[in-house]
Amino acid sequence: MNPLLQDVGAVTAPLVELYKDLHRHPELSFQEHRTAGIVAERLTALGLEVITGIGGTGVAGIVRNGEGPTVLLRADMDALPVLEDTGLDYASTDRGVDPEGVEVPLMHACGHDVHIVSLLGATQLLVQRTVDWSGTLVVVFQPAEEAGGGAQAMVADGLFDRIPAPDIVLGQHVAPAPAGIVGVHPGPAFAGADSFAVRMFGRGGHGSRPETTVDPVVMAAATVMRLQTLVSRHIAGSDTAVVTVGQLHAGTKSNIIPDEATLGISVRSTDPEVRSTVIEGIHRIAKAEALASGADREPQIVAQESFPVLVNDVDATARTVGAFRAAFGEQRVIDPGAVTGSEDVGVLSTAAGVPLVYWLLGGVDAERFGAATLAGTVERDIPSNHSPHFAPLIQPTLDTGVAALTVAALEWFARP
């Protein structure tokens, strides 16, 4: 084992309480003020050059350690409007206000608290043992990954004018896989994502006299069902696409037919032609259902968040996987295949014009995962990201997260 990795446990042990604190106090996209303050304070205490307020609440830290490559390690910081139901003694009960002004529950339901603490731990390890590497370390704590705009906001705010130009961008995401496992897939690894708000206009009235109205609830319901045919009837079985309606808002009372209904739609795809087919289909179906319902107005369709396909550089991935296998052993390093989740970290590597390697980090008790696998109940019994029950196992997840970032950084500090 690399001598530096022998110190992982000593670094992560005191970080467990920080992890619990961050989990108790999640913050929405572009509202990560408390989290960013804690990160900046920790980086300053480690002696880094610290830059705050990048793209709103983004934080960057720099360690200059002689000649050599510049390695950028990235973590995201934001949480979700989810009501936590994990039963943890450090579960979040915090609430916040979303961009529409609505009060919502808050939860780190996607594990960004794991990402923050893992990167802080890896930074501490690398700072403590600068004798083991040479070059420039840049750590980036990004806001608003969930909103799809955080990485672009940092780039637009001059991130790469404020930090040394990186030679590689590295990062990780905790996932519902056995803790201790690292999963890396070369090439297109995470789907692109697009979301849309579809506002459908009817004509409201009394629930007892629907014949005098144009019912937007029926219009919206028909649209939801018809949208499910986009993947099943318009996309080839060999292609990948997901269409999810995650929001449907209409009405105020059971005996009032409202004037309008709104759908929130999420699309995942890995191929530009498939993406175009699905998006065109959303417009066509929404307009057709409005026409079929006798609506006086066409729906208003507004594009919202957009994530590009995350593409892991093939050669850089092979090199990083080799380092992982040497450090963790063959059994702990897997290729999970491409996933339909999305990530905006690729915006950073694309803007810098450098390779990206981004991997999955297991966060589930291995015995529990194994039992669910044998029973064929993984999807039922193992909560996924964005679930109110999502609760990464603290250890060995943090140890592996810190070690993986450190191993990858050391590999790229070593000249080939």
Is 112 annotated among the ligand-binding residues? yes
Catalytically annotated residue among 32, 113, 145, 167: 145
Is 110 annotated among the ligand-binding residues? yes
What CA–CA distance (Å, rounded) separates 16 from 9? 11
Is 78 a known active-site residue?
A: yes
Is 173 annotated among the ligand-binding residues? yes
Is 145 a known active-site residue?
A: yes
What CA–CA distance (Å, rounded) separates 84 from 93? 7
What CA–CA distance (Å, rounded) separates 314 from 48? 31
Catalytically annotated residue among 78, 289, 343, 399: 78
Burial label for 283, CB within 10 Å (0-12, 13-18, 19+), is middle
Binding residues for Mn(2+): 110, 112, 146, 173
Could you give the residue numbers annotated as active site?
78, 145
